[in-house]
Amino acid sequence: MKNLIKSLRITIVFCIVFAVGYVLVLWVFAQFASPNKGNAEVVTLHGKVVGVANIGQQFGKDIYFWGRPSCAGKGYDGASSGASNKGVTNAKYLKEVEVRVDSFLVRHPYLKRKDVPAEMVTASGSGLDPDITPESAYVQVKRVAHARGMNESVVKDLVDKHVQEPLFGLFGPAKVNVLKLNIALDEASKK
């Protein structure tokens, strides 16, 4: 019985130390090592908060760049984040991808089927990706420029300015944050 009481006390102490200590260590690390002191990067337009940079949003109009499709419940709902768990041989999944490819080609008639970026028709594991590859942004330049009545070179320059290179040139892919790019596009259109 004496050993049982000691074991329970040690278990309770370790639970408290590691549960509180772990969170505290992460919080302190975030205060010094991460941008915005560990808080989400809020994106504003004309002083109004329009989104968070690290969670994707649904853009369906031709005047905007589109992000990856989301498999998370209703659009980019963080509460239902997660993959669909459908494999590449699943008939229902393949049909969904085919429908997305066809829809993408309708809005991008200048592309051939083989030129449609895979990420623009397949959902990510989280379903909340805020970023796309520069290639996926460049294939949309013509559509966006035409829909806004802007010169393609101006829209392409905006994409160029919003390409985030890999960390230290080594870690991760080059990417474009869709929300930030669309905000910059709205601001450029107002000028």
| DSSP assignment string, 144-167 | HHHHHT--HHHHHHHHHHTEEPPB
pLDDT over 90, % of the chain: 43
Range with lowest mean pLDDT among 13-22, 147-156, 182-191 = 182-191
pLDDT in tens, 62-92: 999 998 887 765 666 666 666 667 777 888 8
- Does the pLDDT at position 6 exceed 70? yes
Beta strands at 175-177 and 131-132: parallel, antiparallel or unpaired = antiparallel
Contact 100/113 with Cβ under 8 angstroms? no
**CA–CA dist 111, 97 (Å, integer):** 17
Nearest partner of 127 among 91, 163, 78, judged by Cα:
78
**pTM, two decimal places:** 0.77
Other CB atoms within 10 A of residue 136 CB: 21
**CA–CA dist 180, 35 (Å, integer):** 16
pLDDT in tens, 126-168: 667 889 999 999 999 999 999 999 999 999 999 999 999 988 8
Q: What is the pLDDT of residue 73?
A: 59
